[in-house]
Amino acid sequence: MSVVLQEVLSRARELIGRSESEDCGVLGVKDFCRYAAALNDVDFIRTARAQEAAGEAVVAPALFLAGTLSWEDGPAEDGLRPDGLATRESPCTQGLAVRQVHGGQSVRLGRAPVAGTRVTATRTVTSADHRGGRSGEFVLLGVTTRFTSQDGAELMAVDETIVVLDVLDVLDGVADEHGDKRDERDEQRGAVA
């Protein structure tokens, strides 16, 4: 296993079971409508705005909480990792030359979130495993995020699998397909370690 993947695995195993909470703020109809607009769900927008005007409760779209990557404004482009993720969305990988892909997601719906609800997201690393396959070695991270309302009711829980790859191993695979030199990459690997 590469030094980089060993470090990811070590960091992840130290975090297993520890939770990190984030106040997502109070949900608003505008947030729901922006999400619906991104999905081109014009019917949701019309209905939500009519309910809001009538003083009725507006329920979020079903996957609104799971589909929101961050509750902050987000980093500038130079604050993104090479794989497009913000550093804060990359557990156990800060400062490491890795690439991540999502390996799947399971969503459990609880009480439907309604506009005006204050939400807390609690993220926990649940597992970390070293694996290998045809494409090489990687680390599988299990992460669970629970969304709860101010009264503690669970609104949604999301279980994710994140695949972490050593960037130099990824480059090796691309280089092998294109006949590039391995010696230069081996030197880079020594510099990273």
Assign domain 3-192 to its CATH architecture: Roll (3.10)
Give the distance, in angstroms, between the CA of residue 12 and the centroid of all CA atoms in the same chain: 15
Residue pointed to by tokens 């984030």: 22
Of the candidates 89, 155, 88, 143, which has an alpha carbon nearest to the alpha carbon of residue 119? Answer: 155
**What's the pLDDT at 125?**
94
Structure tokens at 1: 């296993």
Under the banding of pLDDT at 50, 70 and 90, the label for residue 182 is: very low
> pLDDT-derived band of residue 169, with 50, 70 and 90 as boundaries?
low
For residue 174, count other CB atoms closer than 10 A to its CB: 9
pTM over 0.75: yes
Please say if the pLDDT value at position 192 is more than 50. Answer: no
- In the chain, where the domains are located: 3-192
State how far the alpha carbon of 21 is from the alpha carbons of 8, 46, 94, 121, in Å: 21, 33, 18, 6
Q: Tell me the percentage of the chain whose pLDDT exceeds 90.
A: 59
**Phi-psi group of 55: left, alpha or beta (phi > 0 → left; psi -120 to 50 → alpha; rest → beta):** left
pLDDT digits (tens, 9 = 90+) for 79-135: 666 666 666 666 788 888 888 888 889 999 999 999 999 999 999 999 999 998 887
Q: Look at residues 8, 18, 14 and name the one whose alpha carbon lies nearest to residue 130.
A: 8
Confidence (pLDDT) at 32:
95
